[in-house]
């Protein structure tokens, strides 16, 4: 049987990274105005379509990043709590 090794600090760092990604996705600006600046109707139409679809997908991706960040944070807390209880059980004997 192999040993399970968990780095709670790494789980916490990963959680923070997912939250930072979520924030960046939430504050990202729309790109619809780029087509107008290019002065080409076809480009403007394509960018508007892309921007509308990207807004929807960006929202989904942001939600998933938030859920992953929460899950990693909870896992880090659970492993830290378990380790503390195991140490206390071993040292209390």
Residue tagged 């600046």 (tokens): 37
pLDDT at 34: 64
Please check whether residue 22 is in contact with residue 69, taking contact to mean a CB–CB distance below 8 angstroms: yes
Burial letters 32-56, b for 16+ CB under 10 A, else e: beebeeeeeeeebeebbeebeebee
Q: Is 76 helix (H, G, I), strand (E, B) or coil?
A: helix
pLDDT at 58: 92
pLDDT at 29: 74
Regions of the chain where pLDDT drops below 50 = none
pTM of the entire structure? 0.77
pLDDT at 32: 58
Sign of the four-CA dihedral 35, 39, 41, 43: negative
Q: Which two tokens stand for residue 22?
A: 């979520």
pLDDT at 33: 62
């Amino acid at each position: 049987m192999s040993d399970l090794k968990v780095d709670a600090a790494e789980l916490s760092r990963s959680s923070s990274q997912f939250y930072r990604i979520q924030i960046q996705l939430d504050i990202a600006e729309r790109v619809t105005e780029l087509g107008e600046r290019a002065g080409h109707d076809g480009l403007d139409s394509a960018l508007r379509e892309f921007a509308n679809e990207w807004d929807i997908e960006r929202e989904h991706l942001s939600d998933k990043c938030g859920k992953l960040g929460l899950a990693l944070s909870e896992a880090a807390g659970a492993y830290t709590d378990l380790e503390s209880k195991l140490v206390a059980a071993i040292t209390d004997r």
